[in-house]
Structure 1
């Protein structure tokens, strides 16, 4: 604060006309302050000294704070992704405050709701598909979930709201009470009740980021003080917490943060201006994304920081702070041990190794609350995070009082670089899959730590968003409801044989083969015995000597006679896999082993050295599923990464370039990013 006062003093010395500034102007600029303050709040406001010693500064600050007016390039309504714009409405919600019993109305809340596109065709017994609810953090918005929503809207109906004053929602009401954490939880519960199909027994899965995790816990835990949401907790099937905070700030942290929040809005905005110097390289950006983040996520963080409104942030931050009794008991604010420990649903906890807002070891602390901690007591090795957890914030809350935090005795774990292992599908479905629901809420706990540079922005960072999507989809289908697997749904919806007229027309419209996937493969669609163009006989006539083997990865018996290939000098190998489901880790390993053996046997391993001279004439191995895009692309991308040294993104783009449009199933690509995220720390289910 002393630095800010000196900075303001210096600015005022060169400003004319300040003495003519009236008190009414000051009050107008400071309109974001609490309408009615308690005595203690008045005292802390005077302790800051700004209003008392620098009343003449307020007029000049109005000009200083002009950079914080949101431009057309950062306005949330203009930069809103098209998916969100198309499926959003602006609705009014009224709640009864669980804190005071007062009625509070939020008149214009952006509400995103996307029904499942195939809901009418999927089983609704015993209940419809669960409603997936996304809850953003302090200073955040629904737009931060956009990369995840693009995947999950095809899995289940999705609901999300911009909290008041965030994103596209109106900053109404202005009363500070409306922004208490308990009231925000009641608002989310009211929105859920409006969209949840209660008459059909529809259940809910909560996905929160940062402060959104705390709101999710209040909604899901039966041990919460909110009578308005207790009925909702019994309908919650599971919880996904991304970058969660384990407990509330300490009494000393609360006291220090209250002093920070007592600084008048204009001074606060001046602080923001100082903090944002440098754009994508500013302290405000590095705090969230880390110093080694990719440029794309830095630009996004600049946008989200600029969209975070100071008066909204101040109110929500104040509403997250608990009140401590004389005995040290926390009341209200961020939930802690008692609320977390009462959870009785499957939980997925995710964090980034380079997250300094909510350090990754917060996950272990929560596991300890749930009775599933590691052998080392997390309370003894906890790296303390910020007292207030942000998704985008005006200022650096770590400077409140660095002395409040004890030195960490954590030894940073080295990146093992171990390959990621996942649970594969144990069953190959030859018929429409059946629904096997969980009989009880199995309190499974899954934890994942994404390696550096994964940070507090991992939800929307391009390098981690796909990984997050893949991990969540696996968790939903494995621990919540098997119907929440896109592969399961696609199989269920496949009610016709592959070779009826409709599929035949589709098959005929696809390109038969690609150029070489350097320097080993040709991706292709399956051959057809009676086809006039793509039959084994015509294939052998044209490709003898160029394609030395064909690997058929379709699950069914081929619709052509493999002997036609064998007689023409092209080996045929059957490697059955299931359509619509990403190949398992074991299947990928077996495929790679098969290709390695074939390359040695056929002598195509020399292509690594001479394919560049004449890639089209180099002998290769043909691979096909039905159409040669999804499973074929998945296997070929894996081989390019594991054997030929491609980076994952380059391998995906290479397949897309050679066989457009490339891998069509988004959940296949998500799974690839999960598989090849080096250093991803996935622990066994607890």
Structure 2
């Protein structure tokens, strides 16, 4: 779930190093990104952490469109409803653990590791990471393996682009009862578009270097601070840091290079009720983006979670669960209103 802005300075640094790479430059590069041994040891420990025993007991991998997709599925035989959870750039299924545990008491739940993320297979094809291709992966998983009478889509950050495309698919449209978009991004700025154009030219080793510098101070690094508000505990910070470490550079570059967002006309044609959730202290996606999208969708509601950054599922899980439940009940999904 890391976000690194690709600026002109990064490109210039790369070109200089590529042209004049010497032992001195190597030495200076290492000095700039020097890490304390304790930080490196913590990273190594977190890299080796596995899913919780609860998540692992419902974990499985299936071949979808030629790729191995990992996911967590908890069946609730007493309900015809399936809730699908979709993470964003650099995310993974464990981000949804609190939601999966809670809502599995009322409905079947499914969380997917998108291609290259979490425990899913990594593809070397850049086009496999386009929003359309990622959407087709989730659609195939639903169509071929987890068909349900009624569906609720819940997505976070860039996962909202996938969820929006799913909500417009003609094979799912009639079955989607509601869509929840948490911290959705309305589109890219000119600066981000310029960065997207050059990210394909930046090698992994250079991006790794900048990510390493971004992780200095570990739990209190920039890589963690930008996702969590000031009220995050050390336990929550460690979990966020773990996800950041496990986000693969080669996958991040392919995601970012292919990133695209729904346009106004697409938002306007969503037929299911939509809940937009923004976070007051979000430093990754402006809370105003959710307000903008809210104005484009007639059948939508907007909720704001206070005192939290970009990852409310981790810092304020109970608030997220309550907001989803209240919205579901308001649109007639009674089994999710049992709070």
SS at match of 1:240: strand
Give a deviation string over 1:582-631, Cα, whole Å, max 9, x none: xxxxxxxxxxxxxxxxxxxxxxxxxxxxxxxxxxxxxxxxxxxxxxxxxx
Q: Which runs of 5+ in 2 are unaligned?
A: 1-6
CA contact (8 A) 1:65 1:269 kept: no
1:467 deviation in Å? 1.1
Task: Kindly report which structure 2 residues correspond to 1:316-331, keeping only aligned pairs within 5 A, or say none.
Answer: 316-320=255-259
What corresponds to 2:73 in structure 1? 113
CA contact (8 A) 2:226 2:309 kept: no
* In structure 1, distance between residues paired with 2:329 and 2:289: 25
* In structure 2, distance between residues paired with 1:336 and 1:314: 23
What corresponds to 1:255 in structure 2? 194
Pair 1:311–1:290, CA change in 2 (3 A) = same
What corresponds to 1:422 in structure 2? none
1:347 aligns with 2:274: yes
The counterpart of 1:184, out of the listed 122, 134, 141, is 134
* In structure 1, distance between residues paired with 2:64 and 2:289: 33
* In structure 2, distance between residues paired with 1:168 and 1:245: 25
1:260 deviation in Å? 4.2
What corresponds to 2:172 in structure 1? 232
* In structure 2, distance between residues paired with 1:136 and 1:74: 19
Pair 1:256–1:299, CA change in 2 (3 A) = same
CA contact (8 A) 2:267 2:297 kept: yes
What corresponds to 1:472 in structure 2? 324
SS at match of 1:137: coil
* In structure 2, distance between residues paired with 1:192 and 1:480: 23
1:59 deviation in Å? 8.8
The alignment's TM-score, normalised by the length of structure 2, stands at 0.87
1:451 aligns with 2:306: yes
The alignment's TM-score, normalised by the length of structure 1, stands at 0.44
Which structure is higher in RCO with an 8 Å CA cutoff and minimum separation 6?
2
SS at match of 2:178: strand
1:307 aligns with 2:159: no
1:73 deviation in Å? 2.7
Q: How much is the aligned-residue C-alpha RMSD, in angstroms?
A: 2.8
What corresponds to 2:87 in structure 1? 136
Pick the structure with more helix per residue: 2
CA contact (8 A) 2:278 2:304 kept: yes
What corresponds to 1:436 in structure 2? none
Q: Which runs of 5+ in 1 are unaligned?
A: 5-44, 95-104, 120-127, 222-228, 321-332, 372-442, 487-666, 668-686
Task: Kindly report which structure 2 residues correspond to 1:66-145, keeping only aligned pairs within 5 A, or say none.
Answer: 71-75=44-48, 78-94=49-65, 105-106=66-67, 108-116=68-76, 118-119=77-78, 129-145=80-96
SS at match of 1:150: helix
SS at match of 1:155: coil
What corresponds to 2:3 in structure 1? none
Task: Kindly report which structure 2 residues correspond to 1:566-645, keeping only aligned pairs within 5 A, or say none.
Answer: none
CA contact (8 A) 2:71 2:112 kept: yes
* In structure 1, distance between residues paired with 2:228 and 2:167: 29
Task: Kindly report which structure 2 residues correspond to 1:64-463, keeping only aligned pairs within 5 A, or say none.
Answer: 71-75=44-48, 78-94=49-65, 105-106=66-67, 108-116=68-76, 118-119=77-78, 129-171=80-122, 173-197=123-147, 202-221=149-168, 229-246=169-186, 248-251=187-190, 253-320=192-259, 333-371=260-298, 443=299, 445-452=300-307, 454-461=308-315
SS at match of 1:163: coil
CA contact (8 A) 1:68 1:306 kept: no
* In structure 1, distance between residues paired with 2:139 and 2:179: 15
